């Protein structure tokens, strides 16, 4: 599976994605994560990617042209039109978008190519939205840009891709997979400053342990 990230700060994407699960998955060729700096697709010497909004207003707006040209280099747009490709989805990180959740992560994990466009400043020229498939938000709060949301989507989706996680049972027992948060976990020592592991987990009775883990009061 491939993730293409359009961003002004590719190092944020690369630095994080080389570590832990994502790093191992790329070494094992289960994933490919590529960051594209759309500043490289500007036409002026100063490499401007933003400008003042028509009609006035605070802040700067990301221009449509550098983003379009970057998408064009990926074969996703041509002659001012979006090109639809099977198992490819172009997503723009947008506070007004659909709220990202585990169901979306499952849906995205079935794709071959997920393209994520990261914003900055006061947002995008409205014409950018004509070249994307979906607007996604990771929550009702303000961030400096779309890089952290993009990484959130990449990691939660990548975990569901075959070969990324070593232990398949991790997927079936993870938080939100069964429609509820994951049950409490304990490990050694058995007694820490008077805080003890529940006796049922030490019983060896897997039926009772399973029942205990399913109780809403324990989750």
Question: Is the CB of residue 100 less than 8 Å from the CB of residue 153?
Answer: yes
**φ, ψ at 169 (rounded to 5°):** -65, -25
pLDDT at 67 (0 to 100): 98
* CA distance linking residue 111 with residue 161, whole number of Å: 10
CATH fourth-level superfamily of 2-158: SPOUT methyltransferase, trefoil knot domain (3.40.1280.10)
For residue 135, give the nearest of 143, 163, 126 by alpha carbon: 126
For residue 124, give the nearest of 97, 93, 98 by alpha carbon: 93
Top-confidence residue, 183 or 34:
34
CATH fourth-level superfamily of 183-218: tRNA(m1g37)methyltransferase, domain 2 (1.10.1270.20)
* pTM for the model: 0.89
What would the two tokens of residue 186 be?
């304990």
pLDDT tens figures, 105-144: 999 999 999 999 999 988 999 999 999 999 999 999 999 9
Intrachain domains 2-158 and 183-218 with the same fold: no
Which of 56-60, 130-134, 183-187, 213-217 tops mean pLDDT?
130-134
pLDDT of 206 over the 90 cut = yes
What would the two tokens of residue 182 be?
């994951």
């Amino acid at each position: 599976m491939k993730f293409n990230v359009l961003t002004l700060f590719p190092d944020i994407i690369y630095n994080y994605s080389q570590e832990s699960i994502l790093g191992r998955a790329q070494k094992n060729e289960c994933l490919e994560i590529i960051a594209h700096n759309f500043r490289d697709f500007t036409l002026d010497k100063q490499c401007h990617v933003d400008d003042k909004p028509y009609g006035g207003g605070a802040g700067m707006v990301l221009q449509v042209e550098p983003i379009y040209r970057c998408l064009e280099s990926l074969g996703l747009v041509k002659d001012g039109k979006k090109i639809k490709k099977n198992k490819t989805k172009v997503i723009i990180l947008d506070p007004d978008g659909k709220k990202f959740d585990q169901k979306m992560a499952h849906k995205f994990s079935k794709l071959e190519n997920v393209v994520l466009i990261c914003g900055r400043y006061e947002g995008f020229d409205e014409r950018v939205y004509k070249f994307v498939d979906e607007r996604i938000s990771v929550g009702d709060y303000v961030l400096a840009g779309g890089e952290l949301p993009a990484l959130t989507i990449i990691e939660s989706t990548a975990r569901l891709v075959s070969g990324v996680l070593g232990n398949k049972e991790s997927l079936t027992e993870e938080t939100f997979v069964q429609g509820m948060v994951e049950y409490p976990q304990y490990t050694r020592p058995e007694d820490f400053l008077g805080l003890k592991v529940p006796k049922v987990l030490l019983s060896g009775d897997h039926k009772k342990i399973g029942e205990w883990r399913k109780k809403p009061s324990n989750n």
